[in-house]
Amino acid sequence: MRAAMLVVLLPFAALAQAPVLEISGANFRPLPLAYAAPATQDDGAKAHARELDEALQFDFSACGLFQLLDRKSFLADAKEGVTASSINFTNWTNVGAEVLVKVQLASDGDQLKGDLRLFSVNAGREELKVSESAPSKDTRRLAHKLANAVYKYFTKETGPFETHLAWTKKTAQGKDVYLSDWDGRNPVPVSVGGINTLPSIGPAGQVGFTSFKKGKPDLWLWRGGNAETLVSSGRMATGIAFSPDGKRIAYSLADGESAQIYVANADASAPRQLTNTPFFINTSPAWSPDGKRLAFVSNRGGTPQVYLMSADGGDAKRLTFQGNYNQTPDWSPRGDLIAFTARDERNAFDLFTVNVDSGKITRLTQDQGNNEEPSFSPNGRLLVFTSTRNGPSQLFVMTFDGNNQTALPVEKGTYSTPAWGK
């Protein structure tokens, strides 16, 4: 299908045998990974062990590479050592593990230090040892750093665990926008009070969003704690999207009868109208990773569909031809796929991807409530989205091909419009 995605996992490069695991595609099999509860060396570390442990378990289980084995099945002595010579690997083989991860945690003043060791269970050998540290109050970040090291070991790519999400949470009166870790934790308020929605994270970590603070929708920009208006015109401005280089923004401006796509400089200067279809709606722009094209939604053909056009304007080309209600496109940083929400024949919203070159559509979700608003991770392997499968709309992640759908461990609430910082 696409060569870039078929990157091969390189388990234990030291082994002479050829790599056997593919990270995606029909032959993909998540690697069975046993992760033992972290060992602590002092009381200071003990106080943070649980938080680190939770974050690491979520990282391993949600990233789609691993089958995280149930600790209840473990046969090894809880006090088993952390070096290859002190580990009885038979006990790990017997729970189905191919990879064993052990973590030691120590505190040093207000710093936490984590040593992670990764073992090939079949070879009975240590394959990776990493040491990371972080302030004690950032225990989760220490976990994410360690998980990234493991992710990189297997994929040769930077893992998603230190990236950020922006999302909207419903309040009694409106909606608030937050910026959080990749797992939805450590939320930082970006804009609270009134109705704030459709956030987007720029390459420098800035957050753009749509707010009704001044009565009608305007575009706002949040940077390091301060939010100010960016686009406030006579018309309704919605759906800001930063170009991958951060130099331009795309958004839509609507009046009573139509909505058109605009591209402007990052400071909103020199806006240019790219679509010109009076009486039709053009909205939800999403940049291609090279910054040369935009995907957007238009109803010019009668129903909302995903279209592509050059970021300099010019003719738009229709991309989706199935379904009669396709919206919220997001372009994979790998370039080949666009994920979008579609209303299917049973009036349920579900997620699909469309191949940019071939137009081939792949279904990702089915029969699990409404699933909407996909956004790709920076490495293109994961998607964050919302789902109503368990009641109110919740944040979920899954792999780009629809596997391993996992709810984010966030507080109860109604969430919408997640966006992954790329």
Partner 1 sequence: MGVSSGGGAPGRTTMSEINVTPMVDVMLVLLIIFMVTAPLIQQGVKVNLPDAKAQPVEATDKKLVLTVDASQRVYIGEAEVKLEELEEKLKTNAKAQADKELYLHADRTLPYGVIVEVMAAAQRAGVNNVGMITDPAGSPKVSKPKKKDP
Nearest distance from C-beta of residue 35 to partner 1, angstroms? 13
Between 2 and 71, name the residue whose CB sits nearer to partner 1: 71
Nearest distance from C-beta of residue 99 to partner 1, angstroms? 12
Give the one residue of 9, 97, 101, 241 binding partner 1; rule: CB under 8 A: 97
Dist CA 104 CA 77 (whole Å): 16
Token duo for residue 317: 């080309």
Between 89 and 161, name the residue whose CB sits nearer to partner 1: 89
Residue span binding partner 1 (CB under 8 A) among the ranges 11-19, 42-50, 68-76, 321-329:
68-76
Give the one residue of 76, 116, 294, 338 binding partner 1; rule: CB under 8 A: 76
Contact of 408 with 397, CB cutoff 8 Å = yes
75 binds partner 1 (CB under 8 A): yes
Between 96 and 391, name the residue whose CB sits nearer to partner 1: 96
User: What does DSSP say about strands 31-35 and 66-68: parallel, antiparallel, or unpaired?
Assistant: parallel
Token duo for residue 391: 């009641």
67 binds partner 1 (CB under 8 A): yes
Q: Establish how many alpha carbons lie within 13 A of residue 302's alpha carbon, considering only the half-sphere containing its beta carbon.
A: 4
Give the one residue of 44, 54, 57, 88 binding partner 1; rule: CB under 8 A: 88
Give the one residue of 81, 96, 205, 413 binding partner 1; rule: CB under 8 A: 96
In this structure, the chain runs to a length of: 422
Dist CA 167 CA 190 (whole Å): 10
Residue span binding partner 1 (CB under 8 A) among the ranges 73-81, 135-143, 319-327, 335-343:
73-81
Tracing tokens 């790329």 back to the chain, one arrives at 422
Residue span binding partner 1 (CB under 8 A) among the ranges 9-17, 55-63, 90-98, 217-225:
90-98
> Pattern of binders to partner 1 over 26-65, x per CB under 8 A?
------x---------------------------------
User: Could you tell me how many residues of this chain bind partner 1 (CB under 8 A)?
Assistant: 16
Contact of 379 with 333, CB cutoff 8 Å = yes
Restricted to residues 179-198, the positions that interact with partner 1 (CB under 8 A) are: none
Query: If phi over 0 gives left and psi between -120 and 50 gives alpha, with beta otherwise, what is residue 79?
Result: alpha
- Helices 139-155 and 43-62: crossing angle in degrees, nearest 10, is 40
Dist CA 217 CA 221 (whole Å): 13
Dist CA 351 CA 32 (whole Å): 28
Give the one residue of 70, 245, 290, 357 binding partner 1; rule: CB under 8 A: 70
Residue 45 backbone phi and psi in degrees, to 5: -70, -35
Q: Which residue from 178, 185, 228 is spatially nearest to 201, judged by alpha carbons?
A: 178
Nearest distance from C-beta of residue 90 to partner 1, angstroms? 6
Contact of 421 with 165, CB cutoff 8 Å = yes
Give the CA distances from residue 135 to residues 94, 147, 183, 411, in Å, rounded to whole numbers and listed in that order. Answer: 37, 17, 19, 24
Residue span binding partner 1 (CB under 8 A) among the ranges 89-97, 179-187, 342-350, 397-405:
89-97
Give the one residue of 14, 18, 72, 315 binding partner 1; rule: CB under 8 A: 72
Nearest distance from C-beta of residue 85 to partner 1, angstroms? 17
Q: Which residue from 343, 221, 240, 331 is spatially nearest to 283, judged by alpha carbons?
A: 240
Dist CA 274 CA 418 (whole Å): 26
Residue span binding partner 1 (CB under 8 A) among the ranges 87-95, 262-270, 319-327, 406-414:
87-95
Residue 98 CA, chain-centre distance (Å), reads 27
Give the one residue of 57, 94, 368, 388 binding partner 1; rule: CB under 8 A: 94
93 binds partner 1 (CB under 8 A): yes
Nearest distance from C-beta of residue 183 to partner 1, angstroms? 24
Dist CA 69 CA 118 (whole Å): 15
Nearest distance from C-beta of residue 61 to partner 1, angstroms? 13
Interface residues with partner 1 (CB under 8 A) are 32, 67, 69-70, 72-73, 75-76, 88, 90-91, 93-97
